[in-house]
Amino acid sequence: MRDKTARDYLWLVFFLIVFINGFEAGGYQASLLNIGRTYELSSTSKGFFASVELFATMLAPLILGAWADRSNKLKCLKILLSIQFIAALIIIVLKSKILFLGGIFFLGLTTSALQFISIAALSDYFPVSSKKKIGYLTSMYALGAFVAPLAVSAYLRLGYNWRTLFVFVLISTLAAVIGITVSKDEVRETVIGSIGEEKNTGSFYLTAIILLCLILAIYVGYENGFAFFVDTLFAEEFHSAIGKYALSVFWIIMIPSRVLAGHKAHHSYGILVSSIIAIPLITGLITLVSDDVMVLILCIPLGFFCGMIYPCVLNLAIPMSGNHKATATGMLTTATGIGGVVFTAITGYLGDLWNLRVAVMALSSFFIISLISVVLFLGQQKKYNSFIRK
């Protein structure tokens, strides 16, 4: 056990890993319009290109969740970061469309696994402060996704290729490997009684986790459908060049909202319900507005409520996962992949069939299912609460 007064930066390495994931995701979203021009893609084809990575995020927990639960998590992270480095290198060096899709697939596989293993590792290595840190950890994804469109816009203006994104991913991945290598493999905190923490029953509440998976699948599906096509939405519907800035605004506002959700962990259920109701209402306004600046402004509350969902779901799921945190976070990550694949493909298809405004509104209608799921989850939460009081 490490002395709590000793300086330790392992949690910063976890933050860096999640930041890289957000940067890659946001950068890919911001680059999709340019990638589409390179490969002459329709909106449907762009949806397919986006879905390749998201499909891999779905597979990763199915393949790697049990492995991560029974293995040393820091070693798992180093192996996956090494694969991520190679995938980024392939995209940078090789120009083939097929090889690009292959590289993107493995980036999706590694970023997905790195995400859920980092969350599980944070809970294992920092058992006392993990709930608050989860808010900050998930905000790092939003920070990376915020910075990436600005970086993409900047280097494209300077004449660099969209592949520059993956140079940044490669360098930061190497930094994360070094950070894990120099960190000691020790639990950082000691749980004394139940102060500030939920009692761990050791039980795995499958029904509750499945309901949370459904909520997260719909949220991430909506988020990806919106984020991957917001630049195209502005370009095609408003003939505006501020789509990348709207994407950045959408992501940056998630940072304070996710930090707030982490600090208000005991109110996760109420915050989750509020967000599920607010998102489709704001989307409805976006589809009715005809001014590009007003849509950009509406991306602020949209991003705020979107940002709340992920940390709230995690804070609700982890106590109910018992001693199988990597399995639970892996299931949740699989759900994000399923939602991302299905909804992003639907967005592209509906965008070609009608227009992107209709497509985005159609996505938001699925939050009705989320609302039903969160009501059903309340029954499972009451069962869990009654058990830990015994």
Residues 51-85 pLDDT 10s:
898 888 888 888 887 788 788 889 999 999 999 99
Residue 387 confidence (pLDDT): 63
Predicted local distance difference test score (pLDDT) of residue 142: 85
- Dihedral through CA 279, CA 338, CA 62, CA 120, nearest 10? -20
pLDDT of 125:
85
* Global pTM value: 0.78
Q: Using CA atoms, how far apart are residues 73 and 141, in angstroms rounded to an integer? A: 20
Q: What is the pLDDT of residues 223-245, one digit of tens each?
A: 999 998 998 899 988 999 899 89
Q: What is the mean pLDDT of each run of 10 residues along the chain (390 residues)?
A: 55 93 93 89 86 86 81 92 97 92 95 89 81 83 90 95 96 95 74 51 82 96 92 90 92 91 90 97 94 96 96 90 80 86 89 90 96 93 69
pLDDT at 5: 38
Give the span between the Cα atoms of 332 and 218, in whole angstroms. Answer: 11
Domains and CATH numbers, the chain: 10-388 (1.20.1250.20)
Helix (H, G, I), strand (E, B) or coil at 289: coil
Render pLDDT for 99-112 as a digit per residue (tens, 0 to 9). 999 999 999 999 98
* Residue keyed to tokens 């761990």: 200
The amino acid sitting at 236 is E
Is 134 within 8 Å of 311 (Cβ atoms)?
yes
What per-residue confidence (pLDDT) applies to 191? Answer: 58
Helix axes 243-252, 292-317, angle to 10 degrees: 30
